[in-house]
Structure 1
Amino acid sequence: MIAPADSERSPSPTSERSLRVWDLPVRVVHWGLVVCLAGSWWTAENEDWERHLLFGYGALGLVVFRVAWGMVGSETARFRSFVRGPAAVLAHLRELARPGPLPAHPGHNPAGALAVILLLLLVGVQTLSGLFLSGGDLLVVEAPLSGWVGTYVTRWLGDVHEWGFTLLQAVVALHIVAALGYAVLKRRNLIVPMLTGRDADLQGPAPSMAPLSRAIVLGALVAAGVWALVRFA
Structure 2
Amino acid sequence: MKRSLLSIACAGLMSALLYIPGANAQQTSPGLPASATGIVVVELVNLHCPRCRAVNDSEPVLKQAALAAGEDLRIAPIAYTDQSPWPDRVYYAARDLYPGSEDLVRETLFDGIQTDGLEFEDLAQVLSYLQAHEIPQKLAAQFPNFSLNAIADQASSDAPMYSEAKAARLVSQSGAAAVPVFLWVKDGQIIDAVSPSSDDEGGPQVVQEVLHRLQSKTAGAATH
Question: Please, what TM-score do these two structures have when normalized by structure 1?
Answer: 0.29
Q: Which has the higher strand share?
A: 2
Higher alpha-carbon Rg: 1
Q: Which has the higher helix share?
A: 1
Question: Please, what TM-score do these two structures have when normalized by structure 2?
Answer: 0.30
